[in-house]
Structure 1
């Protein structure tokens, strides 16, 4: 790998120790969390405007629900994402735009429209996604799903050591991406909580996230309101905010770099405090008992 410490996405550079916040904008009518709140174009535009105002560094746009649901053709995914990406690029020229897709045909079109990062949450199910990232100079997320096919849920997944399996898979995908011509400073690895994992395995990944960070590849975590938090606390999606912040904070302390979230303001505050506690940032104010 080239200089591992700096992550470069679009026109932004994120130094080692700097946390990047990725806001989720689902262009789907059946998202598990927002139930289609940003499916309509204007609602999605407003959500991105607000996320940027609240401190998001990236937005992640998805045109297909991750789990089970109605089939979504490639043409429909293109309809939901391509023109929208182009519109966001015109509306927010400096914003880092990520698109969550496992299809190389979609990756190509959104890259042409201005996407900076391809978030392949299905671990190279379409091996040509990396070639598209290389051709257009975009970043690429290398994930772990335990061998599952796209849009399938785990059932009795077993690993000798889930963390070792995640490290082996994601770093192999990262090395393969570099060999295909993807920029090393644009690659992230994602343990992909809940994908191909039960709750106990996702919890194990979280408490041992420092082992992923030790690979040198920047780590993305997407834990926001996920089922492992819900099962741990016995809470539905709409009540998992506090648990999400706890998981984000632990992940940040253990070395994660990019955080995919629904609630940008809360996550921004939590990550800003972790940065100060780790000594990579200064408090906004230190007047108490000093004047």
Structure 2
């Protein structure tokens, strides 16, 4: 297991790491939002403890759902949900690597003040002009995600959940790669150091079912851009549509994405089911590294 200091430096040394998802929201698409708990902070600390025990290297806390059709929340509400939980997790687990899942610079700043190490921005620094300058000033790692989705443009399926409608692409993979490169260049121009940038191809955000699968299978092309790569496919609707199962029955489908992610060189794999995906990841790595 890579040590926390190395992870903060994005030095993965060829070993993929798991990022555990902590949703301090009431309306996560996967049904695991902790804001329904009476004591949100205590619930977040308990979930963090379980994730760390089960093999998570990074804890990713989000206070606003990014599921299609979700109601936006104010900056203050997002801060009220995330900052106390981050502070409590930091106090309980001083060496933990903590990420704030937000596209709002003010929320991210409060999270960093509370003890977060990373910023995970689903809009790649494009939604809030202050986000890239914040990451540059704080010297923290930032995940830049490809995202062409339109928040109000979603397809709703009562059983399988909602998914963002994919926009038209002329040449899908080359366009995604070019846009990811542009996100990285914008961050560099804002003063973010190259070694602090991770790229996320944005599985589930403005892609068709087929395009999501093409993208996962092409993670090595994303990796070739020269930055660590994060894969976030856990329990997403494209898995449900392929397998015809609701969100709470997508562990096996998520396992397949995790295995392919390892095969294609993902550095960080963001998941809900940490223990199960840790087993998948370790077994895949064991096979790949076995010597005759």
Normalising by the residue count of structure 2, what TM-score does the alignment of the two structures yield?
0.88
1-structure distance, mates of 2:117, 2:151:
22
Say whether 1:81 aligns with 2:78: no
- Cα-to-partner distance string for 1:18-66 (whole Å, 9 max, x where unaligned): 1111000000001111243465221111100010111110000000000
* Distance of aligned partners of 1:151 and 1:222 in 2 relative to their CA distance in 1, 3 Å threshold: farther
Q: Indicate if the aligned counterparts of 2:153 and 2:165 stay in contact, CA closer than 8 A.
A: no
What is the Cα deviation at residue 246 of structure 1? 0.5
2-structure distance, mates of 1:92, 1:185:
25
1-structure distance, mates of 2:204, 2:65:
14
What is the Cα deviation at residue 273 of structure 1? 1.8
The SS at the match of 1:28 is: coil
Q: Indicate if the aligned counterparts of 2:12 and 2:267 stay in contact, CA closer than 8 A.
A: no
Q: Indicate if the aligned counterparts of 2:203 and 2:232 stay in contact, CA closer than 8 A.
A: yes
1-structure distance, mates of 2:106, 2:10:
27
The SS at the match of 2:262 is: helix
User: What residue number does 1:289 align with?
Assistant: none
* Distance of aligned partners of 1:177 and 1:151 in 2 relative to their CA distance in 1, 3 Å threshold: farther
User: What residue number does 2:250 align with?
Assistant: 240
User: What residue number does 1:44 align with?
Assistant: 44
- Any stretches of 5+ residues in structure 2 without a counterpart? 155-163
Say whether 1:173 aligns with 2:183: yes
- Cα-to-partner distance string for 1:67-104 (whole Å, 9 max, x where unaligned): 22233111100100112211211111111100110001
1-structure distance, mates of 2:264, 2:147:
22
Normalising by the residue count of structure 1, what TM-score does the alignment of the two structures yield?
0.88
Q: Indicate if the aligned counterparts of 1:14 and 1:20 stay in contact, CA closer than 8 A.
A: no
The SS at the match of 2:52 is: helix
What is the Cα deviation at residue 9 of structure 1? 4.2
User: What residue number does 1:69 align with?
Assistant: 70
Q: Indicate if the aligned counterparts of 1:125 and 1:149 stay in contact, CA closer than 8 A.
A: no
Q: Alpha carbon RMSD of aligned pairs, Å?
A: 2.0
- Cα-to-partner distance string for 1:172-207 (whole Å, 9 max, x where unaligned): 111221222223222110011111112111111112
2-structure distance, mates of 1:113, 1:66:
22
